[in-house]
Structures are given as C-alpha cells and as structure tokens.
Amino acid sequence: MLVRVYAPPFADLSLLDEKGRVELPGGATLGDLLQLLHIPLRRFSVSFFTVNWSPAPLSTRLAEGDVVSFLPLLAGG
C-alpha cells in the first residue's frame, strides 16, 4: 500500500518516491513506518504524529492513501 509521508529532514528520505509516498506491507503501523524511515523515537519525546491530520499513537494501522505527518512541538521565549 502507498502512504504519503511528510517526513522530518533526518529521516531516510531515499525510500520516498517523487510524490513523497512510501510502499508499506498491508497491516503496517505508524511504528513500523518510523522504523522503516530510521526515525529515532527519542527525538520525538515531546512531539506527536498524525495520520490523516488527526493525532495517532504508534500502534495505529495504516491504510492505502493515508497521510502521515511528524510534527515537532516548538518552544520559544
């Protein structure tokens, strides 16, 4: 299945096609996607993930056409 990914710059972007999609096996989870793209979870200790623009846990099963985003929280002063 193809999933559209808005990946952070330190992810393995070589796995994405020209439209920013990655091929995943059926039944793959958000956590599987993080592993595939070599995204270290520790960098996201204060961040969240979305699937189709809704917050999602790592156990979320992905489906054909889903859109996944990685959104770091910002701090300022």
Q: Tell me, what CATH number does 54's domain have?
A: 3.10.20.30
Decide if 12 is inside a domain: yes
Residue 9: predicted pLDDT: 79
- The structural domain count of the chain equals 1
- For residue 12, CA distances in Å to 20, 27, 52, 77 come to 12, 21, 21, 31
Residue 77 placed within a domain: no
Flag whether the pTM goes above 0.95.
Answer: no
Residues 65-76 pLDDT 10s: 999 998 766 656
Examine residue 23 and state whether it is found in any structural domain, yes or no.
Answer: yes
Contact predicate 22/30, CB 8 Å: no
